[in-house]
Amino acid sequence: MLTSTLLLSNQLPTLQYSSTTERFDETWEAPLATLLGLGRAAGADFIEFFLERRNYINCLAEDDTITGISPSLGTGAGVRVFRGKADCYVSTNDLSFSGLKAALEKGLSILGLNLPAPNAFIPEINLELLRDYATKSGKDGWLSLCSSIREMGEVLLDGTAKLKQKARHIQSRRANYFRDWQEVLVAASDGTFARDIRLTQSVGFSLLCADGANRASIGERAGNTSDANFLRTWDYQQAADQIAESAGKMLYADYVESGTYPIIMANHFGGVIFHEACGHLLETTQIERNTTPFADKKGEKIAHESLTAWDEGRSENAFGTIDMDDEGMPAQRTLLIEKGVLKNFLADRAGSSRTGHPRTGSGRRQNYTFAAASRMRNTYIAPGEYITEDLFASVDKGIYCKKMGGGSVGATGQFNFSVDEAYLIENGKITKPLKGAILIGEAKEIMNKISMCSQDLEVAPGFCGSVSGSIYTTVGQPHIKVDSITVGGR
């Protein structure tokens, strides 16, 4: 719907808009177009509004009792204003027209811009027709289709009962589920006007076993976007089997002997190695800060020729899947590395404008209190040509990292990540469980040491923390061999 553009600045205080905060629909076009025009009239180069509603619930079962049901409701908005290379971001809980206008005014004033004089012409921005990914894909009914509180409780208690059957030497057992429903609306002065609904769910076990001085704590988590039935289809029997088996093996494990080893890293959550050692360093955020060794390496070989890696916005049901990013751009499939050669970076709007790399639909943020930044989505190493047995056969003495914990990467490219479940490899065979391992290295060096990739790609859900908060991502890889890496232990 086209709207009038003949607006004078002194009419702003008397404008009445009837947008609803119960749904971000076309009724938001007029107020946001007006505010965007106001920002442009004040001299800003670019303005973006991000509106958000959230309906979150967490359910915790401990042993045989539901001990926590924690709903959380949220609404808020952020406005980002650019002037030259500088930008500012102002967030607020107040979604009224006057509340959003106050946030915009604050952003403008921070950048030294003044509102237009009385009777000045406000060139209302012509927004595109609302790109409504939610309605188009039938997401509007998702929230009502999700599990009720009663159902959450029943599933989790069944799950912890299964853990009790499967594990030995149990000290405590927990099952935890959350559902995060989010509706977002993005409107920007380049005409962007888009809406989406995201539904992210995760459920998992954590188990603590103790036998005298021996202790093992281990967790396992499944995650999903886009499937309201996720909790109903969670195979908690299989999950309980796996976690009980892992805890049993790690309970009496020896501490790893520190040193430098070849390692074989399992598929699934093993993908955290690429996430930390390389993925973060391919975000334009890192180029802007000059904290990546790969900044000027596009088109050059930065990894072993066996390595190809992708970052996808839309892997089916994966944890980091988005139809559009938090800047309203459709998510795309981005080839990061092809046979060792760096092909692309992950760029958000600001990163693109500051580094020249094209936007990839990677502008993401935890919520309205953060400005979007270039972040990973579903990131994985592509399957290779080997079978897993080939990888083991190539190791005389090394470590099999079956289950990874979290990790991090620093400003100089040094990364680290912990191993929750590890085994000693001797002459190509797994011989005994090990615990307490942490892997450390330098991104530039490690990427050339990933020398073998098997064919069994699997992905896993993860939580990634960085400049724009904690977001849902997928990591993944086939089994890989790293020729040598420093393993910290005792």
Name the minimum Å distance from CB 71 to another protein: 5
One of 20, 93, 137, 165 touching another protein (CB under 8 A): 93
DSSP 127-175: PPSPEEHHHHTT-TTHHHHSPPHHHHHHHHHHHHHHHHHH-SSEEEEEE
Under rule CB under 8 A, residue 410 binds another protein:
yes
Cβ–Cβ < 8 Å for 272, 404 = yes
Per CB under 8 A, contacts with another protein among 334-393 are: 369, 371
What is the token pair recorded at 270?
A: 């093993």
The whole-angstrom separation of Cα 7 and Cα 30 is 12
Per CB under 8 A, contacts with another protein among 413-472 are: 413-414, 416-418, 435-438, 440-442
Helix or strand run (H / E) with residue 337: strand 333-338
Under rule CB under 8 A, residue 259 binds another protein:
yes
Nearer Cβ to another protein, position 237 or 260? 260
One of 37, 39, 76, 462 touching another protein (CB under 8 A): 76
One of 65, 135, 237, 427 touching another protein (CB under 8 A): 65
Which residues, including other chains, have CB under 8 Å from residue 488's CB and lie 6 or more apart? 258, 437, 438, 439, 440
Under rule CB under 8 A, residue 215 binds another protein:
yes
The whole-angstrom separation of Cα 469 and Cα 369 is 9
Backbone angles phi, psi at 84, to 5 degrees: 60, -135
Name the minimum Å distance from CB 421 to another protein: 12
Under rule CB under 8 A, residue 60 binds another protein:
yes
Under rule CB under 8 A, residue 86 binds another protein:
yes
Name the minimum Å distance from CB 73 to another protein: 4
One of 43, 405, 428, 469 touching another protein (CB under 8 A): 405
Under rule CB under 8 A, residue 51 binds another protein:
no
Nearer Cβ to another protein, position 173 or 198? 173
Per CB under 8 A, contacts with another protein among 284-313 are: 288-291
The whole-angstrom separation of Cα 176 and Cα 274 is 27
Name the minimum Å distance from CB 458 to another protein: 21
- Which is it for the CA torsion 4, 9, 11, 13, positive or negative? positive
The whole-angstrom separation of Cα 389 and Cα 60 is 40
Name the minimum Å distance from CB 425 to another protein: 19
Which residue's entry shows tokens 């990061």? 336
